[in-house]
Structure 1
Amino acid sequence: MAGVAVICLSPILQVFFKRMASGEFVDFFEGQKLCDKLLKELKIQLMSVNAVLEDAEEQRFTRPDVKEWLDKLEDVMCDAEEICDEIATKDLRQKLDAEFGTFGSKVRNLISTYRFVKNVERKINYAVHILECLARQLGCLGLRKGVGRRNLSERQPTTYLVDESNIVGRHAEREAIINSLLSDDDKNIGVIAIVGMGGIGKTFLAQLVYNEDSVKKHFDLKAWVCVSDDFDVLKLTKIILEEVSSSANADSKNLNQLQIKLKEALIGKKFLLVLDDVLEKSYDKWEELSKALKYGAPGSKVIVTTRDDEVASFMSTSATHSVTELPEKDCWSLFAKYAFHDGNSNAYPDLEAIGRQIVEKCKGLPLAIKVIGALLQSKLDVEEWDKILRSELWDLPIGETGILPGLRLSYKYLSPHLKRCFAYCSIFPRDYAFKKDKLILLWMAEGFLLQTRNKTMEEVGDNYFFALVSRSLFQKSNHNSYIMPNLVYDLTKSISTRFTLSHEDDCSPEITSNTLHFSYFCSKFDFQKFATFHGVKRLRTILQLNSDVQFASYSDVSQLSIPMLRSLHVLSLSYYQKIAELPNSIGKLIHLRYLDLSYTGIKRLPDSICKLCNLQTLNLSNCWYLAAFPRDLYKLINLRHLDFAQAKMIMEMPINMGELRCLQTLTKFIVGKHGRSGIGELGKLTNLRGSLIILELQNVESPTYMILREKHLTELVMEWRFDANDPESQILVLSCLQPHTSLKILAINGYGGKSFPNWVGHTSFSNITSLRLEHCTQCCNLPPLGQLPSLQDLSIVGFVEVVKVGQEFYGSGSSSIKPFEALKVLKFKCMLKWEEWFSFDAENEGGAFPNLRELQIYECPKLTGSLPVHLLSLAELNIRDADNLMH
């Protein structure tokens, strides 16, 4: 199942035709008759091959000649896409030159444009020639126009995470495995094997058992490890050690040391270990891994899921549970749950008859049933269901690839844009946990997301992502991450093997001229191997996958040969701690849209980086040595995400930040003195959202308008230094910093006013869950925070002038909710003059703080009297340096 024709072609053609009709193309080629003629000819040839794409997709799995034709078409379309991007970039640069008056004289610009047009003409000529050759082959191939499937309509999912705990069937298997686990008959480690073919539900059955309450209580320690292709004893020992001992340092590459640590962690402890998807049959490796496991307490268990009975045999299992196909009744129940609203098929009798035949073709495999059910729920139409029932893909042999017919069908009926996004995920290795937001930024950088009038590209990407989740192609993992089930991963690899290479071991990467996307782990990849990229001029992605602090030591970035990689859209060098600078040639990567330098030792960015007018994402988080931005950063007019969290040496913003009108993510804004990078620049960034830290607010000079109220921030930190201006001006500053009511987390530190403006504590901020007020040393009273209906965590620190926490703290009392109704954690610290706490519950029936679980009072030496009555029964009460308080 190779080739990605419809993945690439349909979206590219849409974008290409749209750009050719746009003003930028018309203006740029005004007077260029030859180039204009070539573009029209290219469009004609593209339309001729586009007409047969649907029929070609139908036949590519069964006809090698059609597959070869599509491969050639894919290559020329990648070139056409790059031509399109080059023209748009050249046009944008010319407009920037005119606006900012930079990049040389008018004569030099004319010469540059002339050379550029001639180069584009040459590339278009070549593309037209190849397309003409491909068009002439259509008669021999017998491909027909307008034949093929209609796309099922894209359903915008409302609830995309299915409650999988309500599993259909498997009750007997589940109980049998639990009984095996709870049995303490084994004096040694008890190994329990769950055996069955791919897609049968082995992993999910293990998850159900692993999360069972009785199992959780029975074992002292638990660990879950995905094994898959590589039974690497060192790697598996590290993972197990990290799972069972969070404080352990598992960075060592010495297996003996790791096993000693694991032995120490397990001695006398009854543990449960799941080794999921063991494929390799190696008795020696299992023996090596189990040396430390044998020190666990009697009754310790290992669950192994595998497709191979021989694996269960060499691991000396004490019990083997074979997972077979779901019974017909359970198959239909599972299918109905996914295919029909509320699982009710009675309202669709015509569909039910077809659906039962489709379920029969899934041959009792839960994964195939879920994926097909999720596909069909997008359109409850008899004709579409019948078309899927009659598809030839059901008859294709699974063969060596192990791709289920149901998965092939689910992929086939994805929209072209979803296909492209889904296939790109083969850039991740098997069992890799990826983050939604990062993947969407990568899709955006590759040009897979189309901005619409009503939605940003990020919102479009969000819809694409959850459309794939709703089809069970992505599944939720731990820590707010997602993974692809193994058979789904096999599907992505089979689709895009020509274009994507994931470097997962220590061997040299097999980069070819067709490779578009390359990923690697810096902990396993020698930087010098980047030299093998010479000549791979179409490479679009170099993506580093490490997400922990396993820094690579090699730092000669010149090995990357940046000038040879002109097609790069994504460049990630994160975690190369010894990279101190980038070469000036970085400015030649005109297609670059995603640059990740996080956790590197970068000290400065070259000025040439400001020529990357297409750049959308710049990640400089945890660049501890980076001291400043390039002066002309404001020329990155397409920049949407700028992250420099923990880049603590940066002390000021570059000039004209307000020119970055596309910016949505800005982790920090440092207010400059004397109008330099003033707060007004922040006000111009109308599209900001997410989290924002504003520092050096004492530098604000008389703001006259609302800076933040229209920005949909969810987290906001505002910080003054202690040498703030007079208190009256600070009230005005904080008033003008009133955020949007979408805010969820708020922190105010060092504010110098004597009171707070009305918005702090106002009931309209109904989404705030966490609030920190710290070192507001001039304030004599607290704001009415009891009016915030969703507030769960409140910290008040360093209010050294507050003498009484009075009734105003609870609010006006006009609201129907109880004061601090949702509050769970309350902290007071360093309240040096605080003497009295007004007992609200003595005056009002029902009292305040009905859900408070934890109260901390530290360094409040003058506080006297007793706690409010309701607080005396708290589960957690921590009081220190408040000796006069009766409690």
Structure 2
Amino acid sequence: MELGNFCDRAPASGPAAGLLILPHFFLHACPANFFWEPYFGNSKVFDLPFPFRTGCNFCRVEQTWLGSKDCSKKILLILDDVWIDIDKKWEPFYNCLKNGRCGSKILVTTRNELVARMMNSNDSIPVGQLPYEENWLLFEKIAFFKRPPNDYKNLEEIGSEIVRKCKGLPLATVTIGSLLRFKGSKEQWQHVLDSELWKLENVQKGLLTPLMLSYNDLPPMVKQCFIYCSIFLKDYEYMSKNQLIDFWMAQGYLGLEKNGENKEIIGKEYFDHLMTRSLLQENKPCSYKMHDIVHDFAQFLGNNECLSVEVHGVEDPITNSSHDKVRHLMLTVDGVGPSFPESTYRLKWLRIEKLVNLRRLQFETFDRALLYMPKRVEKLTGLRRLSEFVIPGGGDHDNKACSFEGLENLNRLEGSLTVRGLGNLTDVSDGKLTNVFKNKEKLDRLHLEFYKSEEEERLGEDDELILKTLQLPPNLENLLISRYRGNTVPSTNWMTLTKLEVLTLRACSNCKHLHHLGNLPFLELLDLTAMSSVKKVDDDFWGVESETSSSSSLCVHFPKLTHFNFWDTREWEEWDCKVEEFMPCLAILSIVRCPKLKALPDGLLQRATLKQLDFSESPILTERYNKETGEDWPKISHIPYIEIDGISVQDEQ
């Protein structure tokens, strides 16, 4: 028997509204040779499709129901709002469907993506939000049913706003439309428009039941995570998976079970639970959102303990008495003028005096708005995540600021950290900086910015001494150094960075040598940008020329490097490579805005591993390697993918 599993995954708030349409559609569209008998209901409540009561099992039901039907016709079986995602429960049910004629179909609606996957359907249709026009037609048929024309004219404008408030969710449209069907005055409709949905009794009942099914299907710990999502502003479209997991981790939601398992892995599992049940929706690549009504539902469940407010001026935004129960606050201060709202201190359940257990401190600033780190930040020894640490540039800030050495106490930091203002350091010669990063074993991404607040020129020797003194985190995987003024990178102490995979040097304007970088054993990507003092890149530039006379000539330089970028180096003229064992695994080479560079090294171009070459805004290279007229086109013609000035001239991948 051939069964075409046709899985329809409905939106987050469930497909209940679809029941108004499904029977009518199939009664008129179903072919004559199909046996049609609709069965609808909630399989989560009964653990079976609706008419099958508790105590029955799929197999016995099908033997008595399907087995008694005329098997000369095909069977069209509709199971609505299915939640059972356990294969063993479905297997006997499938076996009983063999009584149907070949070509029988099953239509399933579900809010759990795992159900659709389990059924191995090739025709899964994700159902998104209804466009406004279609939502209005649905609302119009219900709310204006048998109303006189004058009512339509008086109520149409308010009705339109109510439909927009439903945000494309048919369930909300049907529920509110049914409520308004028996309300005739404009004042009554305006009251519904102005009210919070969960304060309208009939609306609450209509929306609560299907949403509660989604919520109750979550594991206990994931329920807390779902409620906490309401800390974001309604309509917030840039919710990040990693950001959410960090927040959950800071609340301790990921550490109460599965001892010993990586908390980030647990967080991703919890996130997937919310996604597969459509309680979160993908908005753009790598960003997510929560439907307004689902957001209201999360706040309703959390008893308004989560609050997000924006401060735009001097007016205090926290004045509503309903905020008395707030325990979690996301405060967004817009610009430099607004101050911290004093009403925050009146939130008696929000503990802001003792922060010794603070785990995450993130600053989302632009154009270096953060001028220094306040004193006693070094006392926050429980911090796991710190977005940036700013070293002040003198003036009155020094008396208020935490010193750079204070960062040494925060050894539980993990993930990524940006340190700005290294150029402001004045006392770097006594070794006080040695241990700032040394014991931060969980820090794997680091950005060191040698920015100086005051305009006067600083000495490159100071920057070199800072970089030489710092012992970088031992498990570092990604390192970015910017605005460094030294003549060379004293990288001898970097040889302990055995896990470093990505290295970026940006706007290092005085740097002329990059000695010993080729000895980094696992470096995969090297990105050099705006190296304005570089004129020639050769073995001396990499610090390998003096080694060629000894047994070290057999050493492999950049043994794992696959991707090399050299951008915005406008004085660079020559590139010479005499060492044989140099970048043996190179796969991608990118040269951008190097207008004086005359040619690329033949040895690199002949690498069998090289799969992609692109260069742009480098006119000499463009002429030399032109596919039609370039004298050196034969030297690169074997490379599968070549892009010149943004145009693909060869694609044989």
- TM-score with structure 2 length normalisation? 0.54
Q: Cα distance, 1:777 vs. partner? A: 1.4
Q: Distance in 1 between matches of 2:483 and 2:274?
A: 42
Change (3 A) 1:648 1:445: same
- Is the aligned partner of 1:718 residue 2:452? no
Of the three residues 525, 541, 557, the one matched with 2:306 is 541
Q: Could you list the runs of 5+ residues in structure 1 that have no partner in the other structure?
A: 1-167, 174-198, 204-225, 230-276, 281-305, 312-323, 341-349, 377-398, 502-513, 518-539, 545-551, 594-610, 615-635
Match of 1:696 in 2: 421
Query: Aligned to 1:558, what secondary structure does the other structure show?
Result: coil
Match of 1:558 in 2: 316
Q: Could you list the runs of 5+ residues in structure 2 that have no partner in the other structure?
A: 26-37, 40-73, 99-104, 120-173, 176-204, 545-551, 626-653
Change (3 A) 1:746 1:577: closer
Match of 1:418 in 2: 222
Amino acid at match of 2:486: G
Amino acid at match of 2:576: F
Amino acid at match of 1:200: D
**Equivalenced residues, count:** 458
Query: Aligned to 1:560, what secondary structure does the other structure show?
Result: coil
Task: Deviation per CA, 1:716-752: give whole Å up to 9, x if none.
Answer: 2212248445738834644424234342352243242
Change (3 A) 1:790 1:375: farther
Of the three residues 284, 299, 305, the one matched with 1:500 is 299
Q: Distance in 2 between matches of 1:454 and 1:739?
A: 23
Amino acid at match of 1:771: T
For 1:377-416, list aligned pairs within 5 A: 411-416=215-220
Amino acid at match of 2:299: T
Q: Cα distance, 1:805 vs. partner? A: 2.6
Match of 2:402 in 1: 677
- Is the aligned partner of 1:858 residue 2:587? no
Task: Deviation per CA, 1:147-169: give whole Å up to 9, x if none.
Answer: xxxxxxxxxxxxxxxxxxxxx96
For 1:158-169, list aligned pairs within 5 A: none
Match of 1:480 in 2: 286
Of the three residues 241, 252, 260, the one matched with 1:436 is 241
Of the three residues 367, 386, 404, the one matched with 1:666 is 386
Amino acid at match of 1:852: I
Query: Aligned to 2:222, what secondary structure does the other structure show?
Result: helix
Deviates more, 1:405-414 or 1:726-735: 405-414
Match of 2:629 in 1: none
Change (3 A) 1:371 1:688: same
Match of 2:52 in 1: none
Contact 2:506 2:529 in 1 (8 A): yes
Q: Distance in 1 between matches of 2:265 and 2:375?
A: 30
Match of 2:576 in 1: 838
Match of 1:708 in 2: 437
Contact 2:513 2:542 in 1 (8 A): no
Change (3 A) 1:354 1:637: same
Change (3 A) 1:412 1:682: same
Contact 1:724 1:752 in 2 (8 A): no
Q: Cα distance, 1:821 vs. partner? A: 3.9
Contact 2:495 2:520 in 1 (8 A): yes
Task: Deviation per CA, 1:530-553: give whole Å up to 9, x if none.
Answer: xxxxxxxxxx23225xxxxxxx99
Q: CA RMSD in A?
A: 5.7
Amino acid at match of 1:587: Y
- Is the aligned partner of 1:580 residue 2:338? yes
Amino acid at match of 1:646: F
For 1:172-191, list aligned pairs within 5 A: none
Contact 2:83 2:112 in 1 (8 A): no
Query: Aligned to 1:643, what secondary structure does the other structure show?
Result: coil
Of the three residues 300, 303, 306, the one matched with 1:516 is 303
Q: Distance in 2 between matches of 1:737 and 1:691?
A: 17
Contact 1:797 1:829 in 2 (8 A): yes
Q: Distance in 2 between matches of 1:718 and 1:755?
A: 13
Q: Cα distance, 1:563 vs. partner? A: 8.4
Match of 2:8 in 1: 200
Query: Aligned to 2:221, what secondary structure does the other structure show?
Result: helix
Query: Aligned to 2:563, what secondary structure does the other structure show?
Result: coil
Identical aligned pairs, as a percentage?
16
Q: Distance in 1 between matches of 2:236 and 2:488?
A: 55
Change (3 A) 1:554 1:580: closer
Task: Deviation per CA, 1:249-291: give whole Å up to 9, x if none.
Answer: xxxxxxxxxxxxxxxxxxxxxxxxxxxx9x99xxxxxxxxxxx
Of the three residues 733, 736, 742, the one matched with 2:470 is 736
For 1:597-676, list aligned pairs within 5 A: 611-613=352-354, 638=358, 640-646=360-366, 648-672=368-392
For 1:121-160, list aligned pairs within 5 A: none
Amino acid at match of 2:319: S
Contact 2:419 2:449 in 1 (8 A): yes
- TM-score with structure 1 length normalisation? 0.41
Q: Cα distance, 1:829 vs. partner? A: 0.7
Match of 2:184 in 1: none
Q: Cα distance, 1:688 vs. partner? A: 2.0
Contact 1:368 1:406 in 2 (8 A): no
Of the three residues 460, 465, 469, the one matched with 2:271 is 465
Contact 1:331 1:369 in 2 (8 A): no
Q: Cα distance, 1:638 vs. partner? A: 2.4
Q: Cα distance, 1:759 vs. partner? A: 4.6
For 1:866-881, list aligned pairs within 5 A: 867-868=601-602, 870-871=604-605, 875-878=613-616, 880=618
Change (3 A) 1:883 1:558: closer
Q: Cα distance, 1:473 vs. partner? A: 5.4
Q: Cα distance, 1:641 vs. partner? A: 1.6
Task: Deviation per CA, 1:281-320: give whole Å up to 9, x if none.
Answer: xxxxxxxxxxxxxxxxxxxxxxxxx968999xxxxxxxxx
For 1:270-349, list aligned pairs within 5 A: 339=86
Match of 2:149 in 1: none
Match of 2:638 in 1: none
Contact 1:728 1:753 in 2 (8 A): no
Of the three residues 547, 566, 575, the one matched with 1:826 is 566
Change (3 A) 1:668 1:639: same
Change (3 A) 1:718 1:169: farther
Query: Aligned to 1:855, what secondary structure does the other structure show?
Result: strand
